[in-house]
């Protein structure tokens, strides 16, 4: 699939949902596909910059000032501000190929995500550009399946690929590396989860 000028905005209005982890790993996968990739760290806390700056990443990292340089790259991933304003959500929706809305599988996820979708609706951004990515999937019990059913029942597009919950992410963050390089089996499987998610997003981008 062609990823030229492909722009992913990762938007999370709730903390602790894997927003920065998703931005880091989606950017890495795009870079490994051979595309010059820019990761924009739009979060004031600078978690993406700290994570990526601690090691050797295959992509370039910049702050919001780097938005002016997006056109110079084949692909870009934007890690949004934590709890972004409605104006920021609208802007990201209009100027991105796809929006990734990470969420953990819990009941409160539906109401929060519907607020974000409402902002996009008001801005005239097609819902076809937005996709929910379920993260911190323990692969146990029915929580993920129930969350998926509730989100889809609310009219949201949920990626088939969910991201498993593993301590490998914490090791990757503290070590400034990617989850599959931690050396654990679950870490390698989590990398494959993101690979599958990106493939879905590329398909979504072609349709949006």
The pLDDT score that the predictor gives to residue 208 is 65
Domain assignment present for 128: yes
Burial class (CB in 10 A: 0-12, 13-18, 19+), 124: exposed
User: Which residues touch 42 (CB under 8 Å, ≥6 apart)?
Assistant: 63, 64, 78, 79, 80, 81, 84, 88
Residue 201: which domain range?
6-207
Taking residue 64's Cβ as centre, other Cβ atoms within 10 Å add up to 13
27: CATH: 3.40.50.300
The pLDDT score that the predictor gives to residue 114 is 87
Domain assignment present for 1: no
Domain assignment present for 150: yes
Alpha-carbon Rg of the chain, whole angstroms?
16
The pLDDT score that the predictor gives to residue 14 is 80
Residue 158, classed as helix, strand or coil, is strand
pLDDT tens for 8-47 read: 999 988 888 999 999 999 999 999 999 999 999 998 899 9
Spatial distance between the Cα atoms of 130 and 99, rounded to a whole number of angstroms: 5
The pLDDT score that the predictor gives to residue 1 is 45
Domain assignment present for 34: yes
Count the domains in the chain.
Answer: 1
């Amino acid at each position: 699939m062609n990823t030229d000028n492909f722009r992913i905005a990762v938007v999370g209005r709730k903390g602790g949902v894997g927003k920065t982890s998703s931005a880091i790993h989606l950017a890495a996968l795009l870079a490994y596909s051979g595309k010059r990739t820019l990761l924009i760290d739009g979060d004031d806390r600078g978690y993406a910059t700290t994570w990526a700056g601690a090691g050797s990443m295959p992509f370039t990292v910049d702050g919001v000032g780097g938005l002016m340089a997006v056109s110079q790259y084949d692909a870009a991933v934007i890690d949004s501000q934590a709890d972004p304003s409605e104006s920021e959500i609208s802007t990201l929706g209009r100027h991105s190929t796809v929006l990734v809305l990470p969420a953990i599988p819990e009941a409160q996820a539906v109401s929060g995500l519907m607020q974000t979708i409402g902002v996009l609706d008001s801005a005239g951004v097609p819902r076809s550009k937005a996709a929910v990515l379920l993260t911190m999937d323990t692969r146990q019990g029915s929580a993920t399946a129930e969350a998926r059913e509730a989100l889809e029942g609310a009219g949201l597009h949920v990626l088939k690929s969910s991201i498993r919950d593993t301590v490998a992410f914490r090791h990757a963050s503290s070590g400034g590396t990617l989850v599959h390089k931690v050396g654990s089996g679950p870490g390698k499987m989590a990398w494959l989860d993101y690979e599958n998610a990106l493939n879905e997003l590329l398909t979504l981008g072609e349709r949006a």
